[in-house]
Amino acid sequence: MKHLLLTLLFFCSLYAKDYTQKREVQAFIDDLIIHDRFQFLYLQKLFQNVQKQNVPLRFFSKKKHKPTPGAIKRYPVHGAWDRYVRLKVTPKRIKEGADFVRKYRDIFQKAEKTYGVPKEYIAAIIGVESLYGKNMGKFPVFDTLVTLAFEPNRRNKFFKSELREFLQLCHKNGINPKNVKGSFAGAIGLGQFMPSNYEAYGVDFNKDGRVSLLHPHDAIASIANYLKKNGWRRGEPVATRVSYCGNRFTQCKTGYNRTYFRSRLKNIFPKNGKWNYHDKVRLIKLDRKAYDELWYGAKNFYVITRYNHSAYYAMSIHQLAEGIKQYRKYGKIYLSQK
């Protein structure tokens, strides 16, 4: 039933809609003409022929359900990390990551030297975001952003801003907005950058006069630049697993936004002995089926969460990067999922 509904939503999205009939769109077009020097006829033609994207709209229109008064409080189902990591960190993705690093070895070495971000972490982000370029998205970015900007949903303001950035990006680089494909949220390229990130972090690494995150040269450097500008510290670790008493950790609050002096965390120690990191740490708790897995997260772990605001995402990047590093070094798959 779910697949049938998504199929129907997809086919419904194939019918073009004239968005110039909306007053809000007319005002948006006028603003682009006044402040960004776009041509009226060019914008009219774009906005008169938009295929409404119902699948992305359905995702962002979801409302959080409030608990029913008097409902029975259920115990949590454990194992969230088990389910998450099995999808993100796999032997196949590790091997393909090592192959990707080898294929673009010179670019990775140059980016690592320039920005101080290890090549394995850059590759891991590309692996999680786009399967090393094999899945960069099939949604028309312009139509998706127009739909999300002007159809009611919980992030209209954000997507209106991204639509403006996307049109400016296309205009600057001589790209037809109708020809760009991306994710259901309008993210583009190997690293799945939103349009606003092009201007802020995009790098023309191959010096061809344009930033193209569909190209490995620019994508690799732009991801490294993103992490560097968000505070990546050259030569410092990312995370290490720690031990604690018991199976479920409740001693203190966890999460990437909360930091602790290690001296104040009693009976918590790195499992691999001495950890060469002397700044405050984050406690990262991973919910497994039978127990909580606990990690120290360094500043660089927090930096990864700036790419995607999720501790699970950042940990999957860390473990995939470590897996790629070990495979490149020893030729064997390394999985720290136990």
User: Which active-site residues does the annotation give?
Assistant: 129
Mapping DSSP onto H, E and C, the string for the chain reads CHHHHHHHHHHHCCCEECHHHCHHHHHHHHHHHHHHCCCHHHHHHHHCCEECCHHHHHHHCCCCCCCCCCCCCCCCCCCHHHHHHHHHCCHHHHHHHHHHHHHCHHHHHHHHHHHCCCHHHHHHHHHHHHCCCCCCCCEEHHHHHHHHHHCCCCCHHHHHHHHHHHHHHHHHHCCCHHHCEECCCCCECCCCECHHHHHHHCCCCCCCCCCCCCCHHHHHHHHHHHHHHCCCCCCCCCEEEEECCCCCCCCCCCEEEEEECHHHCCCCEECCCCCCCCCCEEEEEEECCCCEEEEEECHHHHHHHCCCCCHHHHHHHHHHHHHHHHHHHHCCCCCCCC
